[in-house]
């Protein structure tokens, strides 16, 4: 796949430069209209236990939506794009990370690697969804093939797998993690233990689980799906390191997920992922404006909810056809 031309490179660099300045009032308002409703709805879910658990589950849907918005704030803080002050980003990022069960510095480190290596076949494995090439899959022994099939099964990836990432995987750090990253994991775990302990004393552990579990289940499913579809679509960008290009990975390997207005609001404009990967310093509330005012970004073909469902069948990168394919393609190529 050809690299983004030099003229296009100049265009996108100039385009994003105008939007990389966070607005303190808008950032604070987003904190208010995301965190406060999340807490209020969480409390209403608890009170609804006295009425009907079906009502509790119904309230879990909007509560999960606000939890997703809290994660977007956390995400922007990790990029240093939510406030001009790095100290403010780190403080709010740490606090929102506790609310979303994600250690701030540890996640920030891995996510930075993801941005620096997305679409690079020779630098896979950190902050991305594991994707094998057709030839790599064929070279695996049967047991490892089965393991990969299980891992990439959407019924598991977007349910149990998604929940495990936030509830369990984020409780640990990598062996090579730095001191600050390890500290953030310990701090988040300790804070969560304190919160769970306090709420268990106030409302009971059972009530806590009945409220928190459906919120987390919905949010993690939606979150992992969004992360997945942002890079796992048929004509995405994968290239060997020697030919890898940052701009191409952004414009061609990151989707423009065109969502209905309400969903776009709850997901903090993360659907404009082609812009976000080129300009991670752009706060989420300026991504839509950047899209509307710059023709270069409008050239990216959008994915809709309907067309994005095709991504459920993609499992492997075919280096020959330069497309993501499903396991059925293996039989086609053998015949």
- CB distance 312 to 232 below 8 Å: no
Q: Which of 218, 267, 204 is nearest to 68 (CA)?
A: 267
The two structure tokens encoding residue 215: 């919120």
- CB distance 96 to 65 below 8 Å: no
pLDDT means per 10 residues, the chain with 335 residues, are: 61 91 98 98 98 98 98 98 98 98 97 95 90 96 96 95 96 92 98 98 98 98 96 94 93 95 97 96 97 92 95 94 92 59
Report d(CA 32, CA 21) in Å as an integer.
20
Residue 284 lies in a domain: yes
Q: How many CB atoms are closer than 10 A to CB 33?
A: 13
Report d(CA 143, CA 166) in Å as an integer.
27
Residue 83 lies in a domain: yes
The two structure tokens encoding residue 276: 């976000």
Q: In the chain, how many domains are there?
A: 1
Residue 258 lies in a domain: yes
Q: Does residue 254 come out as left (phi exceeding 0), alpha (psi in the -120 to 50 range) or beta? A: beta
What pLDDT, on a 0 to 100 scale, did the predictor assign at position 126? 87
The C-alpha angle 301, 328, 309, rounded to 5 degrees, equals: 35
Residue 75 lies in a domain: yes
Report d(CA 56, CA 134) in Å as an integer.
45
Could you tell me the residue range of the domain that residue 329 belongs to? Answer: 6-334
Total-model pTM: 0.94
Report d(CA 328, CA 333) in Å as an integer.
9
What pLDDT, on a 0 to 100 scale, did the predictor assign at position 1? 46
Rounded to 10 degrees, what is the CA torsion of 125, 131, 136, 138?
140
- Kindly report the backbone phi and psi dihedral angles of residue 18, in degrees, each rounded to the nearest multiple of 5, phi listed first: -75, -10
Residue 1 lies in a domain: no
What pLDDT, on a 0 to 100 scale, did the predictor assign at position 11? 81
């Amino acid at each position: 796949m050809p690299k983004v031309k030099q003229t296009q490179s100049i265009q996108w660099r100039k385009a994003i430069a105008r939007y990389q300045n966070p607005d303190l009032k808008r950032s604070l308002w987003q904190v208010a209209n995301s965190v406060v409703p999340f807490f209020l709805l969480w409390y209403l879910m608890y009170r609804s236990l006295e009425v009907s658990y079906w009502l509790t589950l119904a309230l879990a849907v909007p509560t999960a939506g606000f939890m997703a918005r809290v994660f977007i704030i956390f995400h922007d803080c990790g990029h240093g794009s939510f406030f001009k002050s790095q100290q403010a980003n780190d403080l709010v990022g740490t606090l929102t990370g506790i609310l979303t069960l994600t250690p701030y510095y540890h996640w920030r480190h891995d996510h930075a690697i993801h941005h620096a290596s997305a679409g690079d076949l020779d630098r896979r494995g950190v902050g991305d969804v594991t994707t094998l090439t057709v030839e790599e899959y064929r070279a695996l022994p049967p047991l490892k093939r089965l393991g990969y099939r299980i891992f990439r099964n959407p019924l598991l990836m977007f349910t149990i797998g998604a929940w495990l990432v936030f509830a369990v995987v984020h409780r640990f750090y990598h062996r090579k993690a730095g001191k600050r990253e390890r500290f953030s994991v310990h701090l988040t775990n300790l804070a969560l233990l304190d919160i769970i302990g306090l709420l268990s004393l106030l409302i009971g552990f059972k009530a806590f689980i009945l409220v928190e579990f459906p919120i987390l289940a919905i949010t993690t499913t939606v979150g992992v799906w969004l992360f997945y579809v942002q890079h796992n679509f048929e004509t995405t960008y994968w290239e060997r390191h020697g030919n890898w290009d940052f701009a191409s990975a952004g414009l061609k390997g990151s989707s423009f997920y065109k969502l209905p207005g309400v969903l776009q609001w709850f997901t903090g404009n993360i659907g404009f992922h082609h812009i976000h990967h080129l300009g991670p310093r752009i706060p989420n509330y300026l991504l839509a404006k950047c899209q509307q005012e710059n023709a270069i970004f409008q050239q990216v073909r959008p994915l809709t909810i309907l067309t994005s469902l095709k991504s459920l069948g993609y499992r492997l990168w075919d280096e020959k056809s330069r497309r993501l394919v499903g396991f059925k393609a293996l039989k086609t190529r053998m015949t």
